[in-house]
Chains A and B, each alone.
Chain A
Amino acid sequence: MDLERLGKHPRLFFLGLGLLAILLPWLPMGGSTNYVLRILTTAVLYMILALGLNIVPGFTGLLDLGYVGFYGIGAYTSGLLAIHYNMSMWLILPLAALNGALWGTLLGAPTLRLTGDYFAIVTFGFSELVVLVIRNELWLTRGPMGLPGISPPSIFGHPLTRDWEFFYLILILLLIVLVVVTRLQDSRVGRAWFAIREDEIAAQCSGVNLIRYKVTAFAISASIGAMAGAFYAKWFKFIHPDMFKFWESILILCLIVFGGMGSIAGTMLGALILIPLSEVLRAVLPQGLFSARYLIYGLVLVLMMRWRPEGLIPFERAQARKAWLAKERLKI
């Protein structure tokens, strides 16, 4: 694949990819359709997660090591609302996103005044505390027994159970998140974030309210993570505290770093390559070694930072493409 050209024509490329995705459930795959669909649903879920996380390290330049905490908050919000109130998923998704944003603001408002390293470590501590609370507050979350029996989502009274239904559902979610993230990137807020990332002091001198924009970034990122968690709970129908451990944050960070930090196309490509790869590893590696797949993720982080810190599809090129597109529009 020619990444140079991909960087110039991502719209066409992703249109094709989207078309392929829509047709996918109906292509002949010799009986493995459901398996492939499940893997791809996971990959798209991680795309959403990565797009959400990307706002903080990618757009604003702050390392967030506690992203999975919001994913967990969203999943448990969704699971508990579904079990206790039998709420519809269309109500649960926004509520979970709201809850994520709330926690993001609560955590971000005091901590984002600090330098990046301190922020990274506080977010880490927060996500560990989330897991500890989920694990120990049995009255609320059933702790290590997990939360089973989450009802599947339904549309007009028709419960979704088949793999292609979930695949389409998550594609719709991806589309929504993609629109939100792209619009944000091109907005005044997005420009403020990039300014903070490039040079905090210069940004502040140009009138960017550092705290406000950082908290906004963190809260939006958290709400996307929480929404992804809400979908996950409804899809998997069972959630457990171990699903939201620190490792997940690293995996999602790895997707971004691999694909290209700050670049929306890169972030998605990272998820599309690495998540199915981990499924391949699950099939190839012996049982005991499968957990060591994180070795590869760790190595990816180190090697990418050393040799290609801009990732597969760099952010700068995405910017350059936009400038080029704008010029093209002027010509017409």
Chain B
Amino acid sequence: MNSLLDQSSLFLQQLVNGITLGGVYALIAVGYTMVYGVIQLINFAHGEIYMLGAFLAYSMVTVLGLPFLAAFILTILICSGFGIILDFIAYRPLRKAPRLAALITAIGMSIFLQNLAMMIWGSQIKSYPRDVLPEIFSKTAWNVGDVTLSWLQIFMLVITIVSMAILHLVIHRTRIGTAMRAVSQDKTTSALMGIGVNRVISFTFAVGSAMGGMAGILVGLYYNAIFPTMGYIAGIKAFAAAVLGGIGSVPGAMLGGGVLGIAEVIGAGYISSEYRDGISYAVMIAVILFKPAGLIGRQIGEKA
């Protein structure tokens, strides 16, 4: 009986951890999915924006000595700027080129940024110094039986949910959001209707990158580790989440992130922790093979 209780509380704990992690995957996945929605490009460099977010915040709190919240907000702003610049210098010139060219550019940018970060910050794992973080982060908020929920996890969940809600409102209730949806349906017609397509694409990159940078800081806090290659693994997992939910669909990205986060934590706990990353790849490959439209996406996997 007792061991059964242990089992169930272990499961609950992993569920909690999985949901926290899944929220962050969803934040990154939104960036992939929105960009794919408007320009049909897998922006491989998105994972690097996430990594840069973590490092920028790190430099701000250590080198510049800014308070954590200020660094958090500033980093988000800078990351959205990065997104716009990335689109402007790398992708915009290739808008009319074959898709292969844009994909290769995306991969190239990703490799370039990753190694740039390695040159600037070095390849060792860094962590946010404890004394500059709000003290509350390291405290336990909730303790039911063996299940613990830290304030940091609550902070992550709240940030995730609030930004998703704002994003939903922006997409469905504002002019620019309407323009975004129009562009994702048909670029040419949108342009004819007087929508500044490039402006909308820039906006999409800005929003996606802001959320990516934010996710970078949150994960850096959660795992207490930031390193130049962190964007590559997280980026692929988030992409898997976007695919799982149905690429191009924002609610899909949220759902996909949640499901993937839980699947990963539970899989690592019950199947094999060595294959922790493998679970995301396997889920992604399986979804692409058997249900390319994703859980709630429209069918775009096969060529029309």
Query: In residues 113-139 of chain A, which contact B (Cβ within 8 Å)?
Result: 113-118, 120-122, 124-126, 128-129, 132-133, 135-136
> How far, in Å, is A141 (CB) from chain B's closest CB?
13
Task: Check A309 against B111 for contact (C-beta < 8 Å).
Answer: no
11 residue pairs of the A-B complex, CB under 8 angstroms, read: A113-B302, A121-B243, A125-B281, A132-B277, A132-B281, A257-B104, A294-B115, A295-B112, A301-B104, A301-B105, A309-B101
CB distance from A196 to the nearest CB of B (A): 11
Check if B301 is an interface residue, CB within 8 A of chain A.
yes
Q: Which residues 284-319 in A have Cβ within 8 Å of B in the complex? A: 288-289, 291-295, 297-302, 305-306, 309
B42 close to A (CB within 8 Å):
yes
Per-residue 0/1 for B127-163: is the Cβ within 8 Å of any A Cβ (1 yes, 0 no)?
A: 0000000000000000000000000000000000000
Hey, which chain B residues are within 8 Å of A122, CB to CB?
284-285, 288-289
Q: How distant is the Cα of A260 from the Cα of B6 in the complex, in angstroms?
A: 60
Closest residue of chain A to B123 (Cβ to Cβ) is A291
Q: Is the CB of A79 closer than 8 A to any CB of chain B? A: no
Minimum CB–CB distance from A246 to chain B (whole Å) comes to 7
User: Which listed segment binds B: A21-29, A57-65, A148-156, A220-228?
Assistant: A57-65
Query: Would B104 and A253 count as touching, CB distance under 8 A?
Result: yes
The answer to whether B100 and A63 touch across the interface, beta carbons within 8 angstroms, is yes
Beyond A115-B303, A292-B118, 7 additional pairs, beta carbon < 8 A: A118-B288, A122-B284, A122-B289, A132-B281, A298-B107, A298-B115, A302-B109
Question: CB < 8 Å: which of A118, A132, A288 contacts B278?
Answer: A132
Given that A115-B302, A288-B122, A295-B115 are contacting pairs, would A129 and B281 also be in contact in the complex, using a CB cutoff of 8 Å? yes
What CA separation (Å) do A63 and B102 show in the bound complex? 11
The CA of A115 and the CA of B303, in the complex, are separated in Å by 6
Which residues of A, 39-80, contact B by the 8 Å Cβ criterion?
A: 57, 61-63, 65
A297 to B107, CA, bound (A): 10
Closest to A128 in B: B281
Are A125 and B236 CB-contacts (below 8 A) given A132-B275, A136-B274, A299-B108?
yes
A174: interface (CB < 8 Å)? no
Decide: B122 and A250 in contact? CB cutoff 8 A.
Answer: no
Is A110 interfacial (CB-CB < 8 Å)?
yes
Known: A122-B285, A253-B107. A116 touches B116 (CB 8 A): no
Q: For B243, what are the chain A residues with a Cβ–Cβ distance below 8 Å?
A: 118, 121
CA distance A133 to B100 in the complex (A): 29
Structural contact, A305 and B94, CB atoms closer than 8 A: yes
Among B105, B122, B284, residue most surrounded by chain A Cβ atoms (within 10 Å): B105
**Known: A128-B236, A292-B118, A305-B108. Is A118-B301 also a contact (CB below 8 A)?**
yes
Chain A's closest residue to B280 (CB) is: A125
| B119 located at the interface, meaning its Cβ lies under 8 Å from any Cβ of chain A in the complex | yes
Tell me the smallest distance from the CB of B281 to a CB of chain A, in Å.
Answer: 4
Given A121-B239, A301-B105, A305-B108; A289-B302 close (CB under 8 Å): no
Residues of A within 8 A of B (CB): 57, 61-63, 65, 110-111, 113-118, 120-122, 124-126, 128-129, 132-133, 135-136, 200-201, 246, 250, 253, 257, 288-289, 291-295, 297-302, 305-306, 309
**B285 lies within 8 A of A116 (CB):** no
Give the complex CA separation of A114 and B292 in angstroms.
8
The yes or no answer to B99 lying at the interface (CB within 8 A) is yes
What's the Cα separation between A257 and B102 when bound, in Å? 13
Given the complex, which residues of A lie within 8 Å of B90, measured CB to CB?
302, 306
Which residues of the partner chain A approach B109 to less than 8 Å between Cβ atoms?
Answer: 298, 302
Interface residue from B100, B112, B115 paired with A116 (Cβ < 8 Å): B100
Is B194 interfacial (CB 8 A cutoff)? no
Partner of A298 from B111, B277, B289 at Cβ < 8 Å? B111
Given A126-B285, A306-B105, also A116-B99 (CB < 8 A): yes
Listed residue (B100, B102, B119, B236) with the most chain A CB atoms within 10 angstroms of its CB: B100
B107 CB → nearest A CB, Å: 6
Q: With contacts A116-B99, A121-B239, A125-B284 known, is A305 near B115, CB below 8 A? A: no
Interface string of B59-99 (1 = CB under 8 A from A): 00000000000000000000000000000001001100111
Cβ contact within 8 Å between A297 and B281? no
Q: Which residues of B contact A57 (CB under 8 A)?
A: 100
Chain B proximity of A138: nearest CB distance (Å): 10
Are A111 and B236 in contact (CB-based, < 8 A)? no
Chain B, residue nearest A62 (CB) = B100
Interface presence of B110 (CB below 8 A)? yes
Contact B103 A117 (CB under 8 A): yes
| Residue from B93, B94, B303 having most chain A Cβ neighbours under 10 A | B303
Q: Counting CB contacts under 8 A, is B191 at the interface?
A: no
A50 to B102, CA, bound (A): 20
Contact A132-B107, Cβ < 8 Å, known A115-B303, A288-B122, A291-B118: no
A305–B96 alpha-carbon span in the complex (Å): 12
Among A135, A200, A292, A299, residue most surrounded by chain B Cβ atoms (within 10 Å): A292
B243 CB, nearest partner CB in chain A, Å? 7
B282 within 8 A of A: yes
Q: A117, A136, A300: which contacts B42 (Cβ < 8 A)?
A: A117
